[in-house]
Amino acid sequence: MENSAVGEKGRKKMVKRVVISGGGTAGWIAAAALSKKLGELLDITLVESDAIGTVGVGEATIPPLRTFHHLLGIDERAFMRATQATAKLGIAFENWGREGERYIHSFGKTGTGAWMCDFHHFWLRAKEMGFTSAFGEFCLEHQAALAGRFACGPESPLNFAYHLDATRYAAFLRAFSEKHGVCRVEGTICDVRQNPHSGDIESLLLETGEEISGDLFIDCTGFRSLLIGTALQSAFEDWSHWLPCDSAVPLQTRASEPAMPYTRSIAESSGWRWRIPLQERVGNGLVYCSRYLSDDEAITRLLEQVDGEPLTDPRVLRFTTGRRAAAWKNNCIALGLASGFIEPLESTSIHLIVTGIVRLMQLFPFNGVEPSLQGEYNRQTRRELEDIRDFIVLHYHLNQRVGDPFWDYCRHMAIPDSLAQRIALFHERAHAFQNNDELFRVDSWVQVMLGQGLQPLSWHPLTQMMSEREMQRLLGGLGSQVERALHLLPEHQAFIEQYCRGDVVAKV
């Protein structure tokens, strides 16, 4: 049998023609990155159909997207104006520990630590000494989120992300990509044609009869996963025993109040509800487990709790959390929903698309697909997804909502050994860590574990070397520094009006 990386004459097939299957956020992120950075070396075609809708609800992001935009030379103000974007300093988690409790997972650095231990060790020691300052008081992003303040630019110290209109974002990236040479073909894929010997994809057949040939294919067909799943049969690893939510109902409403610079995640009896403020509208939705809540009940609950005039009709989306065993198989790489799905609790969906395409560019098979390239791509992808999975499972597992069957299940379920180890380290010694290639920082793990009620039994002995007076000086200085910086920030809504006010959203 012929190796998938070898041509008919025994030579590896050079990669020149790249075909992106599907548009939406995933497809156009891939097109934008490849055309901007490798456009002179590749012929890039994107196939999508106006008749096939996109999920289009990924409206919250995390800070690394700004780095990606900088890589592509995207003007921030133009992007925010085009996508009706607002700022995001973190996520407010409401009712996730106990009913009525709230904490914020912010994007900022909290306090100042020592090389042997992080700031939270000193804060825990201060609590033992009788100090009452909340952990978030020492993080500017946390305080700015609560106060509804924001600014960006060279003088702003804030670490932030965006709330954006995903459909407008795809359109923005389409214009960017076509400017850099991407050819868009309108059409619906009716067949994926493969080499009978190697199994490599050779072309996509459209309903119009047109055939799109390529050397490398990128599957951005969403949950349908037409290439990597249906054609190449990359197995799916199901994670629903750890992340049991399998349904979501999105709903857009007209904005009825100034936009706050954070996402809201509100725990419900059988899942959680999101609220994402854009400039003229609000993205709402309910993520739930269908074993504990019916679709009709979910829609009714969501409609009862949203503010503002509905702009869309609620619709039910089905999903299974998990990943493809191989995100790169043969001459096909899957991005976005085609490669797997981790629910949007920490807004990682767009980030995973970005890291997927950046990883491909770093390992791009110009001289032909090699097993070593595939193996490294799949290894990095697997590690990234498992780390994010553990962070999401953490939120569910450390709940104290006793009496709700869904939350009781999550609290008592077996969890990955990797997560159990992290929880034990923090509970026993207040130790949190971030691997070199891991997305979520020490600050993120600490904020969520403390916010969910996990109290360490001990902390680093180094902190015992500080007297009460020295601790007062440390905390007082850090708190004052945050307060001074906070007072220099304008109101978030005022900043948006001045900086990037977009065109009024057309009727949906």
Catalytic site positions: 88
Pairing of strands 247-254, 328-329: unpaired
Give Cβ neighbours of residue 426 (< 8 Å, ≥ 6 apart). 432, 445, 446, 449, 454, 456
**Bridge partners of 92?**
104, 264
> Which two three-digit tokens encode residue 449?
């574990």
Q: Quick check: helix, strand or coil at residue 221?
A: coil
The per-residue DSSP string of 407-433 comes to HHHHHHS---HHHHHHHHHHHHH----
The candidate with the shortest Cα–Cα distance to 26, out of 354, 487, 283, is 354
Beta carbons within 10 angstroms of residue 151's beta carbon: 20
Q: Are 184 and 46 in contact (CB under 8 A)?
A: yes
> Which two three-digit tokens encode residue 128?
């033992």
3-state secondary structure 28-80: HHHHHHHHHHHCCCCEEEEEECCCCCCCCCCCECCCHHHHHHHHHCCCHHHHH
CA angle 127, 426, 104 (to 5 degrees): 65
Sign of the dihedral defined by the CA atoms of residues 142, 148, 152, 154, in that order = negative
Give Cβ neighbours of residue 328 (< 8 Å, ≥ 6 apart). 334, 360, 373, 374, 377, 378, 381
